[in-house]
Amino acid sequence: MEGVFALKNVRLYYKKTGRMKFVSHLDMNRYMARLIKLTRLPVWYTEGFNQHIYLNFALPLSLGFESEYEIMDIRLLEDVPFNEIVEKAHAHAARGIEFFAAEEPQKKFGKIASADYVIKYLADENTAERFEEFLKLPEIMVQKKTKKGGFKEVDIAKMINSSTVSKNGGTITATFNLAAGGSENLNPALITEAFNNLENANIETVSVIRTCLYDDCGEVFK
Partner 1 sequence: MDNAKLEKLLLTVQKPGRYSGGEQGSVIKDKTKVDVRFAFCFPDTYEIGMSHLGMKILYSQFNSYDYIWCERVFAPWIDFEEVMIENDIPLFALESRDAVSQFDIIGFTLQYEMSYTNVLNMLKLGGIPIRSADRKELKNLVVAGGPCVCNAEPLAEFVDLFFLGEGEEVDIEVINLYREYKQKGLSKEEFLKAAAKIEGVYVPSLYDVEYNENGTVKSIEPKGDAPKTIRKRIMADLDNTFYPSNFVVPYIEIVHDRAMQEIFRGCIRGCRFCQAGFIYRPVREKSPDTINAQAKCLCDSTGYGELSLSSLSTSDYTRLDEMFTKMFEWSERDNISIAVPSLRVDNFSDELLEKIKKIKKSGLTFAPEAGTQRLRDVINKNVTEEEIMNTCLTAFNGGYTSVKLYFMLGLPTETDEDLVGITELGQRIVDLYYNNPNRQKGKGVNISISVSSFVPKPFTPFEFEPQITKAEIERKQKVLQDSVTTKKIQLSWHDANTSFLEGVLARGDRRLSRVLETALEKGCRFDSWNECFDLSKWLEAFEENGIDPAFYANRTRSYDEIMPWSHLDYAVKREFLIEENKRAHAETTTPNCREKCSGCGAACYGRGVCFEKR
Residues at the site binding partner 1, with contacts judged by CB under 8 A: 18-20, 22-24, 26-27, 30-31, 33-38, 45, 50-52, 63-64, 92, 94-96, 206
CB 208 to partner 1: min, Å: 10
Q: Toward partner 1, which CB reaches closer, 16 or 167?
A: 16
CB 192 to partner 1: min, Å: 13
Helix (H, G, I), strand (E, B) or coil at 177: strand
Residue 204 CA, distance from chain mean position = 21
> How far apart, in whole angstroms, are the C-alpha atoms of residue 93 and residue 168?
35
Residue 155 CB contacts under 8 Å (≥ 6 apart), including other chains: 139, 140, 141
CB 189 to partner 1: min, Å: 11
> What are the C-alpha distances in Å from 4 to residues 1, 34, 54, 57, 213?
9, 28, 19, 27, 35
CB 158 to partner 1: min, Å: 28
CB 12 to partner 1: min, Å: 16
Q: Toward partner 1, which CB reaches closer, 16 or 181?
A: 16
Q: Toward partner 1, which CB reaches closer, 34 or 152?
A: 34
Q: Toward partner 1, which CB reaches closer, 206 or 220?
A: 206
Q: Toward partner 1, which CB reaches closer, 112 or 191?
A: 191
CB 54 to partner 1: min, Å: 12
> How far apart, in whole angstroms, are the C-alpha atoms of residue 61 and residue 15?
11
State the CB neighbour count (10 A cutoff) for residue 172: 23
Name the maximum alpha-carbon separation found in the chain: 75
β partners of residue 13: 71, 101
Helix (H, G, I), strand (E, B) or coil at 130: helix
Q: Toward partner 1, which CB reaches closer, 87 or 133?
A: 87
Asked if residues 59 and 115 have their Cβ atoms less than 8 Å apart, the reply is yes
